[in-house]
Amino acid sequence: METVVCPQLFPVKTNMHHPFLFRGVTASFHLANEGLLRPKSQGPFTYAFHWGEPGHLWGSGALWGSTPTNAVIRHQLNQEGFPTSGISTTPHIERATVYARGKDGNGNGFVFKIIRSELERHGITEFVVAQFCQPSVPEDDEVILVVSGSSCLPSTVVAEVIPIAPQPMYSNGVSPARVKVVVASVMQPTVDYRDCPNTSL
């Protein structure tokens, strides 16, 4: 696969060993885009920062002029949803599920499971965000996909589209939280995970 790596030194844990990438979208986004994964804008994946613009800081990784590195930084900056020709993905299906459920976490959505080994053959370039800058959401391990010569991600790189239901709710309208419960034992304590209401602990 073609992966663009920036020579700058950022302490990152590589996510290249993951065979799949995931993209979570809400049901309304899925419908509006006719079930296709389209970037928010078309054209070259480059960007030029202006002096004093947020994100154009010393040590941010930003470069002078219009470059793909700047496009990576601006694309993910503060999760502002800045329109570029890149498509955000993550190697973690759990993180994609969060985005599929929407901002309030209670919506329907879909997760696209993308075959990473097929990307280069279809002219799709990967930009691993953490290799260019300090990510705004480190837990996403975000990978931006840029499609060459097409307005959307081809269906041939999508293994499946997974429907995502809203987060389960208790009768009081509160979503459950996952909490760790340690069960004492004579031999050795064991750890169990149980659903509990989202209340202050």
25 and 87 in one domain?
Answer: yes
CA gap 126, 2 in Å, rounded? 6
Q: What digits encode the pLDDT tens for the residues 54-111?
A: 655 555 656 677 677 777 887 677 666 677 788 999 999 999 999 999 988 899 999 9
CA gap 177, 117 in Å, rounded? 35
121 and 179 in one domain?
Answer: no
180 and 116 in one domain?
Answer: no
> How would you list the strands of the sheet with 20-26, edge to edge?
20-26, 109-115, 158-164
Q: What digits encode the pLDDT tens for the residues 42-51?
A: 888 877 777 7
81 and 66 in one domain?
Answer: yes
What are the C-alpha distances in Å from 3 to residues 23, 51, 60? 18, 29, 21
Overall domain count for the chain: 2
195 and 102 in one domain?
Answer: no
